[in-house]
Amino acid sequence: MASTLLVALFLAPVVAVLAIAATRDARAAEGLNLLASVLVCAAALPLPWLSLRSTGSFWGGYVLLDPLGAWVLLCTALVYLLASIYAIGYMRLLGEDRRLHRFYALFAGFALTMLAAPVMNNVGVYWITIELTTLISAFLVGFERGRDSIEAAWKYTVIVSAGISLALLGTMVFYWAGSHVLGPSYDVTWAALRGAAPKLEGGLATLAFLLVLIGYGTKVGLAPMHTWLPDAHSEGPAPVSAMLSGALLNTAMLGIIRFIPVAEAARLGGLPRGALILLGVASLLVAALFIVRQEGVKRLMAYSSVEHMGVLALGFGFGGPLGIAGALYHMVNHSLNKSLMFFGAGLVMRGYGTKSMSAIRAVLRYQPTVGAPPFALFLSEVTILRAGWSGGSVWAVIAMALLLIVVFIGFMNHVRQMYFGDTGLPGPAPARLSTWCILPMWLALAPVLVLGLWWPEGLWHYFAAVAAQFGGGVP
């Protein structure tokens, strides 16, 4: 059953890319990409619970379905579906029908790479899939061909590729250290590396982990390696921004998470979690400073992504059942909430003809459906704070709480001015928003509200099972 669903998961975007390339028609491309996203989501929904029954490898051991990877798959599939619906309405506003088939081919290919990464059982192949996400998404970031978008695409490519090169070097050092235990040639699976970890030389293991942490941390957008993120997320089309923030960052974070038990098994003491906690606090600090003084609406959302990746880093850094549960819950909440926020920001930008928040006023009057109450995020953040407090990381908990308050006040101040502020000018005429743009916003908003008021018991059992599978520590 699981292997059949995985085949469908990968085959749908592959067929979509090939069919779009063959038809080269904008409307056909929209439909083919949307159909692929529906099939992907349908295949991904049962996988987390199937993975609890039996964690297994497929296709010669190169594909691994475990609860952690299945959860990231689910988050990616949800964002892909929402962004594909939204893209139909939003991309038509750009007047680029002649090039739209290229956009959707790249869009489906981008989704394919993000769907492949979480289930890669070979450490090297996982790195390849993450690098492919960069190569494909760079064209999407620069799709509008404006000066700023092209600059953002180049900046994204250069900085992230440099970071990923460090991750490759760290992977090679891990392989070299493991060769002293497993022989000169072996399959570098996550399990094999973790099994050899207790016998790895401490200095090599420390160097390898730090390289991997900095490398994949660059892709995640953790401070101070985050400098590409505000430009790429703010300059790409809104559905691309949603995919970058709500799906790609989770996929890259998975690489760090999977290397932590290897580093802990190598007896590196508190270094792995301590380093992740430090980067998490640094990310919150940077986000707080820039959110308070931000002027661009999509850059505001981009720095919010830096903040939430910092929260995820703290959750997995604190570890334990509460830390893991809070981080996994925050992962899906962020995917839904950030998709909603970028969708809304895209419509506001198009409606007002500007990215500057100082020129965006009375949004509630003209576009009352645009909004994103982050209730579910509050619940997951409180859970992570509890995990840090019970784990003894008091300084990090205090720093996290204070910085989250600053971020919330700064963010709400911007929202207040855009929604309720009035310049005294007539403002734009109320625009009739496309159903394609409104539907995915409601589909994202509903679970964000529900998950903020009710933590389903089944999810708690799932997160507890993930934590127990890894001895209550970081998976």
pLDDT in tens, 131-163: 999 999 999 999 988 899 999 999 999 999 999
| pLDDT for residue 370 | 58
Contacts of 458 (CB under 8 A, 6+ apart): none
Number of Cβ within 10 Å of residue 367's Cβ equals 20
Between β-strands 56-58 and 63-65, what pairing exists: parallel, antiparallel or unpaired?
A: antiparallel
| pLDDT for residue 352 | 84
Instruction: Give dist(CA 156, CA 3) in Å, integer.
Output: 35
- Cα angle 364, 244, 161 (rounded to 5 degrees) comes to 145
Contacts of 314 (CB under 8 A, 6+ apart): 276, 277, 280, 281, 284, 384, 388, 396, 400
pLDDT in tens, 92-109: 988 888 999 999 999 999
Instruction: Give dist(CA 108, CA 472) in Å, integer.
Output: 36
| pLDDT for residue 475 | 40
| pLDDT for residue 5 | 92
For the chain, residues with pLDDT lower than 50 are: 430, 472-475
| pLDDT for residue 432 | 63
Q: C-alpha distances in angstroms, 127 versus 134, 163, 213?
A: 11, 12, 13
Collapsing DSSP to helix, strand or coil, 95 comes out as coil
Bridge partners (DSSP) listed for residue 189: 122
| pLDDT for residue 421 | 72
Total residue count of the chain as it appears in this document: 475
Exposed (0-12), middle (13-18) or buried (19+): which is 456, by Cβ within 10 Å? exposed
- The structural domains of the chain, with segments of one domain joined by +, span 2-469
Of 297, 344, 313, nearest to 250 (Cα)? Answer: 313
Place of tokens 């040639």: 185
Instruction: Give dist(CA 197, CA 188) in Å, integer.
Output: 12
| pLDDT for residue 90 | 94
**pTM score:** 0.94
Phi, psi of 399 (to 5 degrees): -60, -45
First to last CA, the chain: 25
| pLDDT for residue 473 | 44
